[in-house]
Every structure is written in structure tokens, then in C-alpha cells.
Amino acid sequence: MKELTIDAVIGNIPEVTAFVDEQLEALDCPMKAQMQIDIAIDELMSNIARYAYNPDVGPATVRVEVMEDSMAVIITFIDNGVPYDPLSNEDPDINLSAEEREIGGLGIYMVRKTMDEVVYEYKDGQNILRIRKNI
């Protein structure tokens, strides 16, 4: 398992993406899966940066675990911010036009649709969100 702890700010998303991509490239991860994971990182880190500590800045930890037996990667996002389960909201109605659709929820919807598993828990004062992608 590899781990990176960094300030949860939008400007640090490229560093988080590069950290995860380094682990994925070592696995010869298919480009499609890597791109889907990169989009998930952008969405999840953006949410932590915007909402977890607002208006302050706090840490976010990203862990990358490789499941050799099942050829999957698990990426865990941890913050000490305001408790919030992004999976508790209903999926947006993607059949509506952008003007008709309520704001919010589309990013986490995309994460849920492109990852093989997305799990949230609040434990010991921490938001913990895990995504799993079979590769």
C-alpha cells in the first residue's frame, strides 16, 4: 500500500493524480481504466477541497492498494472534515436537460458508474471513501 497526505486544495489534484497514476502504470493498468480512475480522483478530491473543511484547508490522505489476487486497485480517500456521505443522495435524472436538472450529484454519479465498487463510511472522526476498479 502506498499513501499520500496532502492539503485538500484544488491545486493539489494534479499531484494526487500523478501519485495514483504512478502506481497504476507499474501495474500496466489499461488506459481506459486509468482515465476513469483519474476522473474519479478529480471529482472526489474536488469535493473534499470544496466542502470538507470550508472555508479552512485541511489534510486529505489518498491510499492506493493493489489486490494482486483479483487484479483490482482500491483507492481510499480520507479526510477529517465535516461528515458527509456523497452516496446518500439520489442519482440525478440524466434524462433531463442540463437546464432542468438540479445542480450537483453528476460527478459522484459518474464515479459510481465507472468504478466497480464505491463505499463510504464515517469512522473515528474521518470521512472514508473507497473506490475499487478491476483492471
pLDDT digits (tens, 9 = 90+) for 21-34: 999 999 899 999 99
For the chain, the domains span 2-134
CA-angle at 82, arms to 86 and 42, nearest 5°? 50
| Tens digits of residue pLDDT in 44-63 | 999 999 999 999 999 999 99
Give the homologous superfamily in CATH for domain 2-134: Histidine kinase-like ATPase, C-terminal domain (3.30.565.10)
| Full strand arrangement of the beta sheet holding 59-67 | 2-7, 59-67, 72-79, 126-134, 117-123
Q: 15: Cβ–Cβ under 8 A, 6 or more apart, which residues?
A: 4, 6
**What does pLDDT average to over the chain?**
91
CA 54 to chain centre: 18
Give the confidence band of 99 by pLDDT, cuts at 50, 70, 90. low
Handedness of CA 106, 110, 116, 119 (dihedral sign): negative
pTM of the model: 0.90
Q: What's the average model confidence in pLDDT over 80-97?
A: 77
Residue 81 pLDDT > 60: yes
8: phi then psi, degrees, rounded to nearest 5: -80, 80
